[in-house]
Copies of this chain bind each other. A is one copy, B any other.
Amino acid sequence: MRDPLRFWFDFSSPYSYIANEWVDAVAARHGRTVQRHAVLLGATFQAAELKPPTAFPMKGPYSLRDFARSARFAGVPYTPPPVFPVPTQNAARVFWWLHDTQGVDAAARWATAGLRAMFVRAVPLHEPAALKGLAAEEGLDADAAEAAWNDPVWKMRLKQANDEAIAAGVFGAPFFIVDGEPFWGNDRRPQIERWLESGPF
């Protein structure tokens, strides 16, 4: 088995949602696994002095249109979130809690459940009740999930993940590193596929 494909995402990122839908199949087709990293774009944006695309005149309305069109292009359902962006630190802390206590597969299932809840069903993941509801739907102990996101241990674990991402050069999401090569954006899928198919180009 070759090196895993490393994939950074934020639960509030529409392009991360789209990428999360194809990344496992693309990696598997080329004998790779996916190593997911939940991060907060707020942290990477601060390090890179960036803002969300929707924060700008002209680029903002275009981005909202492109989110939906890019989802249709990828063939995945998409519902524009009623509030955007929303703070997703609690969902991300649950990711790392699952990652470290139940393993990468449990964390990956949570990533997919969270991103789909946000961008298909318009579930307000920043609201504790909605997040607990999602945890219960996913067969988790909702009270334990809430305890985890309030626990300094998992707060620190997320901060560590943000710091590691920044150290690795991650300034946005989705962000991928394959064999040391960085790829930013859902729209780098064709380049990633070529890299996985035939190596460096």
Which of the residues B66, B73, B172, B187 comes within 8 Å of A194, measured between beta carbons? B73
- Cα separation A166 to B58 with both chains bound (whole Å): 8
Interface check A48, CB cutoff 8 A = yes
Q: Looking across the interface, which residue of chain B has its beta carbon closest to that of A187?
A: B187
Which of the residues B50, B73, B172, B185 comes within 8 Å of A191, measured between beta carbons? B73
| Interface of chain A residues 173 through 193 with chain B (CB within 8 A) | 182, 184-185, 187-188, 190-191
Chain A contacts to B: CB under 8 angstroms: 44, 47-50, 56-59, 61-62, 65-66, 69-70, 72-73, 166, 169-172, 182, 184-185, 187-188, 190-191, 194, 201
So how many copies of this chain end up in the complex?
2
Give min CB distance, A126 to chain B, whole Å. Answer: 26
User: Is B73 within 8 A of A201, CB to CB?
Assistant: yes
User: Is A59 within 8 A of B48, CB to CB?
Assistant: yes
User: Is A56 within 8 A of B171, CB to CB?
Assistant: yes
The 3 closest A-B pairs by CB, nearest first: A58-B171, A48-B58, A187-B187
User: Is A59 within 8 A of B66, CB to CB?
Assistant: no
Q: Looking across the interface, which residue of chain B has its beta carbon closest to that of A49?
A: B56
Q: Contacts A182-B65, A187-B187 hold; do A59 and B70 have CB atoms under 8 A apart?
A: no
14 intermolecular pairs with C-beta atoms under 8 Å apart: A44-B58, A48-B59, A50-B56, A58-B169, A58-B170, A58-B171, A59-B172, A59-B184, A61-B169, A69-B191, A72-B201, A73-B190, A73-B191, A187-B187
